[in-house]
A and B are shown apart, each in its own frame.
Chain A
Amino acid sequence: MLSGDSVLNSRLLTELTLSFHIIYATIGVGVPLMIMLAQWVGIKKNDEHYIVLARRWARGFVITVAVGVVTGTAIGLQLSLLWPNFMELAGNVIALPLFMEVFAFFFEAIFLGIYLYTWDRFKDQRKHLLLLIPVAVGGAFSAVFITMVNSFMNAPGGFELVNGELINVNPLLAMFTAAMPTKVSHVVVTAFMTSAFILAAIAAFRLLKGSDHVYHRKALYLTMKVGLVFSIAAALIGDFSGKYLAEYQPEKLAAAEWHFETEEAAPLVMFGYLDGTEIKYALKVPFGLSILAHNDPLAEVIGLDQFPEDETPPLIIHYFFDTMVAVGMIMIAISLVFWVGNLRKWTFVHSRPFYWIIVLGGFLSVLGIEAGWWMAEVGRQPWILRGIMTTSEAATTSDHVGWMFILFALLYLILGVGTVVVLKRMFRSNPVEKELLERYPNKGGEET
């Protein structure tokens, strides 16, 4: 690995950096919204628990932001270091949203700094809410702009390529490509969903570990409700994404579904494994793929047979696709049961086993995000710019990528472990009971 193939090594290093970064990036997009919601609910209900919740989330958030910033800087530079030919071409067409992403991030960074260091400077809680709005907006918009760049790679547009020369570049058209609406909305919504479920998992975990404080129950109820809304939205947009793929990127859908031959009334293949070209132990939903692709059970769906073999994506993405969809469905089910159960006063939604399921759900959501990105990215192989530039044409010619991979792998290991250790220590040394007591001594940290 150390000497060898700089194309493969560049792919591995990019994949490593992005897989690590998206965990923090997702939190970075979603958690500010949750903090803002908690602050808002706290003001509306005049309930200090929610204000404290907002602050405690924010304090933990800082740690993840720090790692998100440094890994984001890493991937930003690695784009040019590992894919110089791609960036030279793409810079001409897609630089605008990249540039705007930095502004969104700048904006978020400034107001997050202000919010964190002015906690007790303003008496009026509404001022703190005002500071949170640019943080949440900046976070969401950096996701929007950076996903626009990714959409461009999946469906290049906004320019013409004549004899290897770029002409008629239109930066706005390059931002609003065919892939953009579904991709951007799916990314933003799943980030909200995942962040909500991660925070729910933390609340459930505290409840499991003996702290039966009403604060955690409030946190759990808020996060699960928000999670439910966004997981349903994610499923709806996911369905649109399927239709987008069928129309514009049929080879990705066909590879994800192991749909080898073009046919009408195509079944949806779920799970299973591939033995040569034979699908085994799979669940087949009749007409499923035709419905997913065209909303019509009898519609024809293009199969892999329509594409030259060297232009079809790896078939492994089927597993990523299944994982992503399964996680989405499971999370809708968990949060729906919890929400209905809360309304109907079913006791089992507050039982230990159900709390464990919620804790597991937090991890599952992160897995879902990873699987979704692997499916989207590996699914456009062998292209870096679909139909225009292959991955191997874009990679660096430097011989040192293998060593850099090892170096960054070590770095991410340290950062990952560091995050967990610091977060644990931070909240263990300052449990919510203590903080409530310090902040509102006359109420004794009890229900307000």
Chain B
Amino acid sequence: MNLEILGIMVLWTFLFGYVIVASIDFGAGFFNAYSEFRGKQHILSKIIQRYLSPVWEVTNVFLVFFFVGIVGFFPSTAFYYGTTLLVPVSFALILLAIRGSYYAFESYGSQGHKGYAFMYGMAGILLPASFSIVLTISEGGFVSMVDGNPVLDYWELFSSPLTWSIVVLSIIAVLYISAVFLTWYANKAKDVEATNLMRKYALIWALPTIVTALGIIYELSFHNPEHFTRMVDLWWVFGLSFLLFIATVVLIWKRKKYGLAFGLLIGQFALAFYGYGVSHYPYLLYPYLTIYDSFTNDAMAIALIVAFIAGLALLIPSLYLLMRLFLFNKDYVKGNKKNKA
């Protein structure tokens, strides 16, 4: 395996980590706000805050890791994506700021501000949309080179059905992932009401997730036929992903083994995510940028990989400690008083 592939796999893995933890976070914010307006706030807010408060900052680092890493391994992405993404990413940053400050401001300062909760919930829905623009652009057809500089055609972008399908999928997937996770978490906390509510949401969002995913594959068949062909070649990966999806839904429907259901869901999304990533190979931005012509020099690549391994040696035990203390600690999950900040 060459360094380019290793580099993109490391980054893709971190992006996947971010997609999962951020989906839980974004979706939770939405359910929190929604149930507040439906007068069911008391059911969910405790569960959600208990899980999210200690980890929101860690969630954010996954994202930082990805964008620092991609500039490190593939510096040319800074030139192509940096120039074209100014507006969508700036909006995403503003939304992230609303979310980041919400946790601190809300949980330590003014509790129960409805407007803030609403903005927070909305930010959770808009963020996946603004980030998923990057995926759309990477398919090609929206960026043209003018005087040697990449320029994004906004009209083309916003009038394309592909854009909107990806936006819709990202939003629905966020709600689905988050609902499955929170069902499991609420069940661990022995909170029957919250479990039932989240189970209902999980089942509601399951079908749309798979329908939009299939729709995108269909649209790619004429937007980027090369990518579509490579996806068809990997049909068994997506097929396996679909089977895992069925298994997750069945478990949740039968109210059995929520932990396993969440594990299967991770498997489902991992297969789809990596299948998508592999079929995108070798392009970072179709057709201008491949992982080969944007890759950094060997010295830097090796230095980054060494730093990465050393960093993981510190990080994995720390993350394990964090999970043991909060995610897998019965006392904490049930909201034992001793653990309040």
Tell me the A residues contacting B by CB distance below 8 Å. 59, 62-63, 65-67, 69-74, 76-78, 80-85, 87-93, 95-96, 98-103, 105-107, 109-114, 116-121, 134, 166, 169-172, 396-398, 400-401, 404, 407-408, 411, 415, 418, 421-423, 425-426
Contact = CB atoms under 8 A, between A and B. Distances in A.
Contacts of A91: 71-72, 74-75, 78, 296
A118 B100 CA distance: 21
Contacts of A82: 82, 86
A95 B304 CA distance: 8
Interface in B314-329: 314-315, 318-319, 321-322, 325-326
Given A74-B97, A171-B300, A401 B319 contact: no
Contacts of A100: 307, 311
Interface in B88-124: 89-91, 93-94, 96-97, 100-101, 103-105, 108-110
B149 interface: yes
B141 interface: no
Interface stretch (B37-45, B49-57, B186-194, B265-273): B49-57
A113 B322 contact: yes
A368 to B, nearest CB: 26
Most buried by B among A66, A83, A112, A397: A66
Given A71-B97, A109-B58, A96 B304 contact: yes
A63 B108 contact: yes
Contacts of B311: 99-100, 103, 106
Interface string B69-81: 1011111111111
A85 B82 CA distance: 9
Interface residues of B, number: 69
B196 interface: no
A119 B341 contact: yes
Given A77-B89, A117-B326, A110 B318 contact: yes
B67 A96 contact: no
Contacts of A396: 82-83, 86
Contacts of A415: 97, 101
A67 to B, nearest CB: 6
Nearest to A110: B318
Contacts of A422: 104-105, 108-110
B296 A95 contact: yes
Contact of B54 (A69, A72, A116, A407): A116
Given A92-B296, A169-B300, A110 B319 contact: yes
Contacts of A62: 104, 108, 341
B314 A107 contact: yes
Given A103-B311, A166-B297, 13 more contacts: A70-B96, A74-B97, A87-B71, A88-B79, A95-B72, A96-B303, A101-B68, A103-B314, A117-B339, A169-B300, A396-B83, A397-B83, A415-B101
B86 A401 contact: yes
Given A93-B300, A397-B83, A422-B105, A120 B71 contact: no
Contacts of A105: 61, 64
Contacts of A114: 54, 321-322, 325
A109 B83 contact: no
Nearest to B54: A113
11 contacts: A63-B108, A81-B86, A81-B89, A88-B75, A111-B318, A114-B54, A117-B53, A121-B338, A121-B339, A407-B90, A408-B93
Interface string B146-164: 0001010000000000000
B297 to A, nearest CB: 5
B252 to A, nearest CB: 29
Contacts of A107: 314-315, 318
Contacts of A423: 109
A102 B18 CA distance: 14
Nearest to B312: A103
